[in-house]
A = this chain, B = another copy of it.
Amino acid sequence: MNYQKIITSIQNQLSSIQYTGKVASYIPELETIKATKFGMHLHCINSGHYHFGDNTEKFSIQSISKVFALTKAMLLLGDELFERVDVEPSGDPFNSLVQLEYESGIPRNPFINAGALVVCDVLVSKLENPKNDLLDFIQKLADNKNIAINRKVFDSEKKHSYRNMSLLNLMKSFGNIKNDIDIVLDLYIHLCSIEMSCEELSKAFMVYANGGKLLYNQEQIIPSRKVKRINAIMLTCGFYDEAGEFGFRVGLPGKSGVGGGIVALYPGQYTVTVWSPPLNPKGNSELGMYSLEQLTTLTGLSIF
């Protein structure tokens, strides 16, 4: 497979594509990012790295961090976790309260906000220093100590978290949040505020493409059975209310964030991260979706 040629072809196509999406604006720190930023970084298990654009520039990973949080919680808690959060696609916007009320405070899956908040509640219960422990875990996955939060993003998210507070209080009223609401929210926002580059994300997600082993030292840090489950959840629930469209057009497990990043992976083959801030109406990076669709089309590789 000539990956370099494929990546170059995508780069060439993008120069002529006009995006219509909008950069996330609910906090000022995200809105100031230049809409024309674009990075792509493909990390192949057997054949190394292919990339172009702003692939080494750090950006706010936002909801992509939910995959790390879920992984850590699954390592700490086992299947009990899934009594408190389901694994079904939601059919509703990522921050909807409606489903939660109809289903008695059990979020549909760990990648909608409510579900990620339950995951954070588990982490608060189980970890001494949840913020540090999670950051350590991500740094280990990425083999990189230089991963941290953006303090401005953190502070700004804190000021705009009414809807997440609403979700937390509703779930607390159903008994599905065990810890103090402020502490759980603090961890959640901390995770959303982490900054990483395309290159770093592709490296950190390699564990999911490599059966639970770190590629750089082959240490098995996640049981392969759990990795498969996380990949399945990414495929069915990783793209808000557009998971079906992504499975349909791209056909890879993955996770997006409102910072404009999307990570996807082909088990046994590669991880790939794209970053382009303008979002489509469903909240996923418009050019990111397009690039990944091109990648699976041009490589002819698809899990389907």
Q: Which residues of A contact B (CB under 8 A)?
A: 86-92, 96-102, 108-109, 162-163, 165-170, 172-173, 225, 227-229, 231-233, 235-237, 241-245, 247-248, 251, 253, 267, 297, 302-304
17 A-B pairs with C-beta separation under 8 A: A86-B244, A88-B242, A89-B91, A90-B91, A91-B99, A97-B97, A97-B100, A97-B166, A97-B170, A98-B98, A162-B170, A169-B169, A231-B304, A235-B304, A236-B244, A267-B302, A303-B304
Partner of A89, one of B96, B228, B244: B244
A247-B233 Cα distance, complex, nearest whole Å: 7
Number of copies: 4
B residues within 8 A CB of A227?
Answer: 304
Closest to A245 in B: B87
B residues within 8 A CB of A232?
Answer: 244, 247-248, 251, 304
Contact between B166 and A173, CB atoms less than 8 A apart:
yes
Q: A97-B170, A303-B304 are in contact. List 5 more A-B contacts (CB 8 A).
A: A89-B90, A91-B91, A98-B98, A233-B244, A235-B304
B residues within 8 A CB of A236?
Answer: 89, 235-236, 243-244, 247-248
Closest 7 CB pairs of A and B: A91-B91, A89-B89, A166-B169, A231-B304, A162-B173, A88-B244, A165-B169
Contact between A304 and B88, CB atoms less than 8 A apart:
no
Least distance between A164 CB and chain B CB atoms (Å): 8
